[in-house]
Structure 1
Amino acid sequence: MAAYIRFKHQGEVKEVPCKSVLTMGRDRNSDIVLPDLHASRNHAMIRCLGQGDFYLIDGGSSNGSFVNGQRVATPRLLRDGDKIRMGRIELQFHQTTREAVSLDTLSLQDTLISDNPEIRQITILVADIRDFTSLSETVHIRTLTKIMNNWFHQVNDTVFSHGGAVDKFIGDCVFARWESDLDQKKTVFEALAAAVDINRITQALNSSFPELARPIKIGVGINTGAASMGIGHDNTALGDAVNIAFRLESATKLLGTDVVLSETAYQYLPEKYVADRRQHLRVKGKRDPIRISMLEFSEVEEVLKELGQPAVREGTP
């Protein structure tokens, strides 16, 4: 879906198409130059993820970036018509969507058939920063923005390097997926390797920002199952398998562990790593408890090493 930024420059309305990365700032090499001393040289960027999701990412600017009057601390998914302000300059994001089809022109049956989503087997990873609310209350907004945007940038690149794709950034959480129709086992190990790298990225941020009151930690949930792909204008994955992955991540803090895997994921691990770690977990929305297994990040590294899987990609901290 085409997207563009509309703004006024010297009394003239301009439209700049969004691409994979669109930079904005006072620097004259920016895609959109902001002639305003209240704007930073490299103020912000708009980055395309997935199939047409555009996120505004502040670059840790002094005066911040705002969407519809709210300051952006984490990558913000843009919607058609969103108003963006950087310094004293206002811009507007626009994104075209497919035309809505009236039920007067097509039968309900035809509409349902044409909009029928594709069901695919996927492996889902959900990684979340623990106690983010407390973090946001103890760190200056500019520092918080730098930390989060650094984290999201590196996490996105890491997931991609391990064969996956980021489906969504949701607040302080990343939702990534691997299509596993052909080789489910392979995608589980790719997700585990990504989890290890995401933890390394997080640990490196703790070293880079000594002003943090306490170390940033993450929890990871991994599940494999069927999902509906390409739902709505966000082209996201939806379904029970996705919901369970989010529940598994939430359970990491309750269970005092780093990674929680569903049975459909942990079945591919060597028995010695799951034999004493299996248990049942009750999750919201499920009548019966589900079977899970738990691992620490150090144990995930051992699993990957034993199976000859690359635990860390080149360039990861």
Structure 2
Amino acid sequence: MDSDEQEHVIEVTDLRRVYGTGFEAVRGITFSVARGEIFALLGTNGAGKTSTVELLEGLARPDGGRVRVFGHDPHRDRAAVRPRTGVMLQEGGFPADLTVAETARMWAGCTSGARPEAEALERVGLAGKSGVRVKQLSGGERRRLDLALALLGDPEVLFLDEPTTGLDAEGRRDTWELVRDLRDAGTTVLLTTHYLHEAEDLADRLAILHEGRIAASGTPAEVTADRPARISFRLPEGWFPGDLPPLAELGVCGHEVSGRTVRLSTRELQRSATGVLTWAERNKVDLHGLDVRPASLEEAFLGIAGEREAAA
């Protein structure tokens, strides 16, 4: 194993994928994923996420550019790559009449170096469902089964496609903890999800795809850094937005007023929040419903989508 493979187990360079009569679903994207990292691939519908992941998994050949997993072409060198990866698809499609244990046993028979099925089921909280038929499982339980089967081979790289769809809040938190444990043990995880708070909470780094290109990438903090933070509150009777200190002096870069509710945008959250609270304290003003929060990944995501649509 060379030092480059140790550093980046997934490398994507100028990747392109074209369908049919020329529709370019992936338009020259470049990114890498380090060993023991959780990397989230996000995007609007039709952004190219699924096409990209299929190329990483070796299910198709790129129409341009290059993909390497463990230093190998995952399509051409599938025999070298596939035993070291685990894949959790959006829908497993397992025989409905098999029990959970039978399904795991069948899958283990197709998996190199599979761990004991009971251990995999225990890991995702399905040990008590081993005798239940797949068709009797809830949607969330089926997602847990999908994850258990992806983990059977103790993969070095794990592809998770919408892993918590259908799970309740507790199941989602349990899955997050399991993914973190896998990362901490050295597994590299590439995650796609529509739950932006999930990506923000889990991912070490991420990329946001839009119309086949990477619109933003980096850590969640880096991706949201260009977006303004928000301060909102309601003024009591007798007080008006014009009574506030000059907003420019507070570092505010934008504001909205709706009735008695004031919403401020700022790139200097501490300065702006301190200024507003100092003014309120000095004037004995109660700021009802005060909400102070930094920019979220959701705001960055929606901002990217909105900016591209406005430019179209």
Scaled by the length of structure 1, the TM-score of the pair is: 0.22
Judging by fraction of residues, say which structure has more strand: 1
* Structure having greater relative contact order (Cα 8 Å, sep ≥ 6): 2
Scaled by the length of structure 2, the TM-score of the pair is: 0.22
Judging by fraction of residues, say which structure has more helix: 2
